[in-house]
Structure 1
Amino acid sequence: MTAHPPLEQRRAAELMTRDLLTIAASESVLMAWELMCKAGVHHLPVTDDEGGFVGVVDAQTITATWSAAAPQEARRPVTSLLPSRPPPAVGPSSTVREAARAMLESGGDHVAVTDEHGVLVGLITARDLIGALAGAERDKAPRSGGMPSLYRIEPVLPRTIPAHAARTEPPPG
């Protein structure tokens, strides 16, 4: 077992999740929920069309704002759930203490880890902190040249409309 410095002195880069599933800012709240359910995650970083970091939507916010009586609300952009203030963020060399303080100050259970240009490189959640405190850190992907793995799932539509779907009038019969 590798000896670590006290948790509050460790660096954000040691605890952050690097392999992140992201969602485009133009996607719907329903798409965000579907992605979270399929991937088994509670936080989705939101990116703009150029891949820039916009914020993080979490499962708690989606469930708190969900309205079964208004299904059109599920189609609104995921950005409608983001707070108006900038998302909390720390640098990879920030201490875990600084990351925890940023979470507390924002009132959230996560903090983005961004580089000096504001590019998202990881995410630390309260679960990551508790896991590290308990000594039950999950396996982290090995470093691969410094860039995080950001995954973006987009809907796939057929290239052509099938003949049976293109009909505008009922078949003869």
Structure 2
Amino acid sequence: MTMHAPARDAPGPAARAEVPGPGGEPPPGAGTVPLLDRRVGDVMRTPLVAVAAGETLLVCWELLERTGERHLLVVLPDGRCAGVLDRAEVAAVCAAPAVTLSRRYAGGLVRGRRCVVLHERDPVRRAVDVMDANDCDALPVVADGGTLAGLLTAADVVRALAGRRTAAPPGRAPAPPAPYPVLPGLAPRRDTGRVSPVP
């Protein structure tokens, strides 16, 4: 479901940066198109970290720790996005005893929320307006038919303004944009070589 936001003033000179495409190469005409007029699909990140709505919060925390990501997409069995969980939100909930976390699920944290999404053909200007209107810094991006196509964060927009492309950290394979079971065996984070305990 999308939400219309009020229009903003015209962008300043800083918003005219060239935006590299998903593969790192500049999109056609990128040098002449202001960033805020580019498509969301040219700026979003496509290696997604997603979890099925039926997974426990312990699995959510483990996945966030092992990937080092800040946002976790929660996906319904039909492939639609139910919402986005923030690392800080999951960490706060994980302060409860571990035995109770095994009975709490990702879908329960996003239940009752309005899931605001963008279409990959929306302009970046609209994405910025929607983030501002909803006081959030990450939005799921969908393709035709409502299938999950990517995630756009405020950091992605800033990187695009700086002329840098959004890329997955080294060694991470793109995650499928659909619910999948998270099983033991994920490689540990490479920065410390260990997984932090649940706070």
Provide the residue aligned with 2:146 in structure 1. Answer: 118
Deviation at 1:73, TM superposition (A): 3.8
Provide the residue aligned with 1:150 in structure 2. Answer: 177
SS class of match (1:13): helix
Alignment of 1:58-97 (within 5 A): 58-68=86-96, 70-75=97-102, 76-82=104-110, 84-97=112-125
Provide the residue aligned with 2:73 in structure 1. Answer: 45
Provide the residue aligned with 1:129 in structure 2. Answer: 157
Which blocks of at least 5 consecutive residues in structure 2 are unaligned?
Answer: 1-17, 19-25, 169-174, 185-199
Residues 32-67 of structure 1: CA distance to partner in whole angstroms, max 9, x if unpaired?
111111112111111122333211112021123332
Asked if residue 104 in structure 1 is aligned to residue 128 in structure 2, the reply is no
Provide the residue aligned with 1:169 in structure 2. Answer: none
Q: Percent identity?
A: 29
Which blocks of at least 5 consecutive residues in structure 1 are unaligned?
Answer: 141-147, 157-173
Largest Rg, 1 or 2: 1
Deviation at 1:153, TM superposition (A): 4.5
Deviation at 1:74, TM superposition (A): 2.3
CA distance in structure 2 between the partners assigned to 1:83 and 1:109 by the alignment: 19
Provide the residue aligned with 1:166 in structure 2. Answer: none
Do the aligned partners of 2:83 and 2:113 also contact (CA within 8 Å) in 1? no
SS class of match (1:117): helix
Asked if residue 5 in structure 1 is aligned to residue 33 in structure 2, the reply is yes
CA distance in structure 2 between the partners assigned to 1:71 and 1:132 by the alignment: 40
- In structure 2, the CA distance between the partners of 1:97 and 1:83, relative to structure 1 (3 Å rule), is farther
SS class of match (1:150): coil
Do the aligned partners of 1:25 and 1:78 also contact (CA within 8 Å) in 2? yes
SS class of match (2:51): strand
How many pairs align?
149
Provide the residue aligned with 1:34 in structure 2. Answer: 62
CA RMSD of aligned residues (A): 2.5
Do the aligned partners of 1:67 and 1:73 also contact (CA within 8 Å) in 2? no
- In structure 2, the CA distance between the partners of 1:73 and 1:6, relative to structure 1 (3 Å rule), is farther
- In structure 2, the CA distance between the partners of 1:81 and 1:6, relative to structure 1 (3 Å rule), is same
Do the aligned partners of 2:118 and 2:142 also contact (CA within 8 Å) in 1? yes
Alignment of 1:151-170 (within 5 A): 152-155=180-183
CA distance in structure 2 between the partners assigned to 1:104 and 1:65 by the alignment: 25
CA distance in structure 1 between the partners assigned to 2:176 and 2:58 by the alignment: 24
